[in-house]
Amino acid sequence: MESGHTRAYAGGALVTLAEERPPAQPAVPAQSAPARGGWPAWLLLAAVVLLAFNLRPAVSGLGAVLDELSADLGVSAVVAGVLTTLPVLSFAAFGAMAPGWSRRFGSRRVLAAALAAVVVGQLVRVLVPSVPVFLLATTVALAGMAAGNVLVPAFVKAYFPGRVGLATAAYTTSMAIGTTVPAALTVPIAHAFGGWRFGLGSWALAGAVALLPWLVLARHRGVVARPAGPGSTATRHESLWSVGRSPLAWSLAGYFGLQSLQAYAAFGWLPQIFRDAGVDAAHAGLLLAILPLVGVPLSLLFPSLAARLADQRPLVWACGAAYVVGYVGLLLAPASGAVAWAVLLGLGGGAFPLTLTMIGLRSRSHDVTARLSGFTQSVGYLIAACGPLAMGALFDVTGGWTVPIGLLLVLVVPQVATGLMAARARYVDDELAAADATEATDATHAADAAGKVGG
């Protein structure tokens, strides 16, 4: 095993993985310290894919057995409502902390700990018959999922800098499968083995398997950002929110938030929309399942395609157009064209893997990628949390779905607008460096002015 750089055999060739020190960029003085120890590229990618699969089952499997769980534990309607909104709030809160954890402890160790939290949280919540413990354990699992959400794009940027699209396609596809499979199999597992506890708890086994390669990788800290010297961008602006000085970062956050709002609104209310249009309950559930099923091939296709394009604006337009046609169809003929509208809304959901890919493409270094990912997802999930709540409130006020669906249709406009701004080929690092230069110039002018006054 060599020290000083990471090597791996990939495709029959010896490859040096660029986790350690990205190429020097004049506009981005921060560098990355080498992470000691060599690992095969296939192990790193397999670890990422296995981790990504486990970033959704704790949520997607819960909805399938929520009625049985509520009856068994005596969960009130208020607590059930908390369970449905807890994921987006946890993703926003804990996702904001993840880049700081990574800088302090190293990316591999934080991701290993995140996956361990997912496993422990899923096990504890089915073993202890207590509502407070269930909520606390679910929060622990969600904290691990939030850290994974944020740090995996940075991990991909660090370890696969020349294959961001390919690696992102691999892990977003795994994440899509991790959303679809638990939603479909949790109930059959629960029926086969005697209750909802087995149905939910079984996904902890998948997490335990995924944890094995991370325990190996966690022997070393992995990517740890170190500033180039006093006065560097990394020294003075290490916080997650410092990324907010970049207009591009806000564009990404807006696009991520609005596409997430669309997704959570659809997953929360689409079955009821179809049922109120005359579709039976079983068929409405199958129609909802179309959305994540469509997302699987899109997760495989979009990242690779996005990485090959000079900019990603055609994909932004495509996702927006799919949403527009889908919502117009829901307004005009919700039952007769139900399958087509569900497929189109699923196609619109291609904005999710597209955004994750753009996080890697719009940043130069893994440290900025981590902070950009945390900023984008924290702001984005706060925006997304408003979607299901607004849909429910508008339905209560109007007594129908025309206004709520109309709102989602209108929100496609700012979604596409922010996406078009985020899709142009430029870098957050460069905008941060420009902001630093402006601040330095302003400080110099202020000092000169003060000197003249004093003189």
Q: What string of DSSP letters covers 177-195? A: HHHHHHHHHHHHHHHHHTS
Using alpha carbons, select from 36, 44, 384 the residue that is nearest to residue 223.
36
d(C-alpha 340, C-alpha 321), whole Å: 14
Task: Answer whether residue 452 shows pLDDT above 90.
Answer: no
State both tokens at 336.
């007769």
Indicate the average pLDDT of the chain.
84
- Residue range 417-421: average pLDDT? 97
Q: pTM for the whole thing? A: 0.79
Identify the pLDDT of residue 223. Answer: 52
**CA atoms within 13 A of residue 347's CA, in its CB half-sphere:** 18
Would you say the CATH fold of 238-445 matches that of 36-225? yes
Mean pLDDT: which of 16-25, 192-201, 234-243, 318-327 is highest? 318-327
Task: Answer whether residue 423 shows pLDDT above 80.
Answer: yes
For 398-410, what is each residue's pLDDT tens digit? 999 999 999 999 9
Give the right CATH number for 238-445 from 1.20.1250.20, 2.40.128.20, 3.10.290.10, 2.30.30.240: 1.20.1250.20
Phi, psi of 74 (to 5 degrees): 70, 40
Q: How many CB atoms lie within 10 A of CB 189?
A: 21
175 burial (CB, 10 Å; 0-12 / 13-18 / 19+) is: buried
Identify the pLDDT of residue 85. Answer: 82
Using alpha carbons, select from 392, 385, 292 the residue that is nearest to residue 347.
292
- Tokens 């579709």 identify what position? 279
Task: Answer whether residue 238 shows pLDDT above 90.
Answer: no
- Residue range 259-276: average pLDDT? 89
Identify the pLDDT of residue 13. Answer: 34
Helical H segments across 277-334, by residue range: 281-308, 313-332
Identify the pLDDT of residue 6. Answer: 37
Task: Answer whether residue 11 shows pLDDT above 60.
Answer: no
Domain definitions of the chain by residue range: 36-225, 238-445
Distance of CA 125 to the CA centre of its chain: 23
For 360-371, what is each residue's pLDDT tens digit? 999 888 888 889
3-class secondary-structure state, position 6: strand
Amino acid in the structure at residue 219? R
Helical H segments across 54-130, by residue range: 57-64, 66-73, 77-105, 107-127
Amino acid in the structure at residue 356? L
Phi, psi of 259 (to 5 degrees): -70, -35
CB 36 within 8 A of CB 3: yes
Identify the pLDDT of residue 230. Answer: 38
Using alpha carbons, select from 51, 55, 61 the residue that is nearest to residue 83.
61
What kind and span of H or E run contains 405?
helix 402-423
- Residue range 399-425: average pLDDT? 95
23 to each of 30, 96, 162, 394, 447, how far by Cα in Å? 10, 27, 12, 51, 35
Helical H segments across 40-76, by residue range: 41-53, 57-64, 66-73
CB 203 within 8 A of CB 209: no
Lowest-confidence pick of 5-19, 51-65, 199-213, 313-327: 5-19
d(C-alpha 177, C-alpha 53), whole Å: 7
Bridge partners of 16, per DSSP, are: 7
Residue with the larger pLDDT of the pair 83 and 427: 427
Residue with the larger pLDDT of the pair 221 and 387: 387
Bridge partners of 31, per DSSP, are: 226
CB 99 within 8 A of CB 234: no
Q: How many CB atoms lie within 10 A of CB 88?
A: 23
Distance of CA 290 to the CA centre of its chain: 20
Residues in the chain: 455
pLDDT band at 387 (very low <50, low <70, confident <90, very high): confident
3-class secondary-structure state, position 14: strand
Using alpha carbons, select from 149, 53, 57 the residue that is nearest to residue 102.
149
For 273-329, what is each residue's pLDDT tens digit? 998 999 887 788 788 888 988 989 999 999 999 999 988 999 999 999 999 999 999
- Residue range 221-247: average pLDDT? 59
Task: Answer whether residue 4 shows pLDDT above 70.
Answer: no
Buried b vs exposed e over 250-272: b needs ≥16 C-beta within 10 Å?
A: bbbbbbbbbbbbbbbbbbbbbbb
- Tokens 């670890």 identify what position? 47
Task: Answer whether residue 421 shows pLDDT above 70.
Answer: yes
Identify the pLDDT of residue 442. Answer: 60
* Topology at the third CATH level for domain 36-225: Growth Hormone; Chain: A; (1.20.1250)
Using alpha carbons, select from 18, 15, 48 the residue that is nearest to residue 33.
18
pLDDT band at 10 (very low <50, low <70, confident <90, very high): very low
- What angle in degrees, to the nearest 10, is found between the helix axes of 366-384 and 131-159? 140
For 29-88, what is each residue's pLDDT tens digit? 333 333 334 678 888 999 999 999 999 999 988 877 888 888 899 888 778 778 878 899
106 to each of 232, 239, 321, 359, 370, how far by Cα in Å? 20, 16, 41, 20, 12
- Residue range 359-382: average pLDDT? 91
d(C-alpha 86, C-alpha 182), whole Å: 18
